[in-house]
Structure 1
């Protein structure tokens, strides 16, 4: 595996770009897929958003200044693409985002790619009740096991605010799961 700086340099050079992009995809596709999947819930939608993410990365790699880690930049793009996708989908369907979340959770049980059990579905229902920021912070911290400073870099916010968001999210999830 090449270092991050070397990979970025190769991505910006026409003669090494194709091979470097293949390395980038192979290195990050699974982590980004699961990050996106936890936001959009559907396998097919996650695949579409992942593809859009990599297209955006390819088209904008020259704009990457190295002020953050490469994977933070990738996560930020993936997060924004997933949220944009959900907003567009809710508009297309003429429903609010909350309603869309409920519909998507309802389809999880029928999704052949969803490997969770009833407990996982309850957890997904609970997560869907969280405000967007808390949902993102919870997913990144709980599922992706990212450190607060990494999440802060991705979401471009303070560590203190993230800790508060995560704490509130956990409390809300506990309450929801106790009631259910």
Structure 2
């Protein structure tokens, strides 16, 4: 049985049904959010931890959800912010490490037993990892999640023009990196 976001929000307003509403919210959105986070963080355990933090934040702030956007858009924004904060924390931990975070994530991608992509997909993922966080985020949202620029603008609180420019530059960098590896 598929439950609508409106039904979940209505249940959340009833104190004795709030936990069930939250359970339905998690069940409905966890898979899509997990894969969004996994593309940003690469490591399953990190994506899982950030996903859990995302739902904890959503649970704590459910009453503040204004309904200006869909619940998924709201959750996606929370997850994105949590992922960016996580990456910044990881970078701060590596401040005295000669390897940067992207190199570390690339190595983890090579050694990940859960990674099922072929060599071409791995090359694409490594190229995407070389992008700055915001460009990587925009690229993942557009290329992998097939999001419209307008929805991305709502989630990231920025203009469509800025997103198009960011995506354009990301694609150019990825193409250059892949071409450099091929020749």
Give the shorter-chain TM-score range: over 0.9
Shift of 1:151: 0.8
Please, what TM-score do these two structures have when normalized by structure 1? 0.93
Q: Is the 8 A contact 1:12 1:61 kept in 2?
A: no
Displaced runs of 4 or more, over 3 A: none
Please, what TM-score do these two structures have when normalized by structure 2? 0.91
Q: Which runs of 5+ in 2 are unaligned?
A: none
- In the alignment, the residues of structure 2 paired with residue 2 and residue 116 of structure 1 have an alpha-carbon distance, to the nearest angstrom, of 32
Alignment CA distance shift 1:95-1:3 (3 Å): farther
Alignment correspondent of 1:13? 14
Deviating more after overlay: 44-53 vs 6-15 = 6-15
Alignment CA distance shift 1:10-1:157 (3 Å): same
- In the alignment, the residues of structure 2 paired with residue 142 and residue 11 of structure 1 have an alpha-carbon distance, to the nearest angstrom, of 34
Shift of 1:95: 5.2
- In the alignment, the residues of structure 2 paired with residue 69 and residue 155 of structure 1 have an alpha-carbon distance, to the nearest angstrom, of 14
- In the alignment, the residues of structure 1 paired with residue 137 and residue 120 of structure 2 have an alpha-carbon distance, to the nearest angstrom, of 20
Alignment correspondent of 2:34? 33
Residue by residue over 1:125-180, the C-alpha shift from the partner in whole angstroms, topping out at 9 and shown as x without a partner, is: 21122222211111011111111111111101111211121112111111111111
Residue by residue over 1:53-86, the C-alpha shift from the partner in whole angstroms, topping out at 9 and shown as x without a partner, is: 1111101111111112111110000011111111
Q: Which runs of 5+ in 1 are unaligned?
A: none
Alignment correspondent of 2:149? 148
- In the alignment, the residues of structure 2 paired with residue 173 and residue 35 of structure 1 have an alpha-carbon distance, to the nearest angstrom, of 19
- Say whether residues 1:178 and 2:175 are aligned partners: no
CA RMSD across the alignment: 1.6
Alignment correspondent of 1:119? 120
Alignment CA distance shift 1:17-1:170 (3 Å): same
Q: Is the 8 A contact 1:105 1:121 kept in 2?
A: no
Matches within 5 A, 1:1-180: 1-94=2-95, 99-180=100-181
Shift of 1:94: 2.5
1:145 counterpart SS class: coil
- In the alignment, the residues of structure 2 paired with residue 154 and residue 12 of structure 1 have an alpha-carbon distance, to the nearest angstrom, of 24
Number of equivalences: 179
- In the alignment, the residues of structure 1 paired with residue 103 and residue 125 of structure 2 have an alpha-carbon distance, to the nearest angstrom, of 10
- In the alignment, the residues of structure 1 paired with residue 96 and residue 59 of structure 2 have an alpha-carbon distance, to the nearest angstrom, of 32
- In the alignment, the residues of structure 1 paired with residue 144 and residue 96 of structure 2 have an alpha-carbon distance, to the nearest angstrom, of 28
Deviating more after overlay: 31-40 vs 117-126 = 117-126
1:109 counterpart SS class: helix
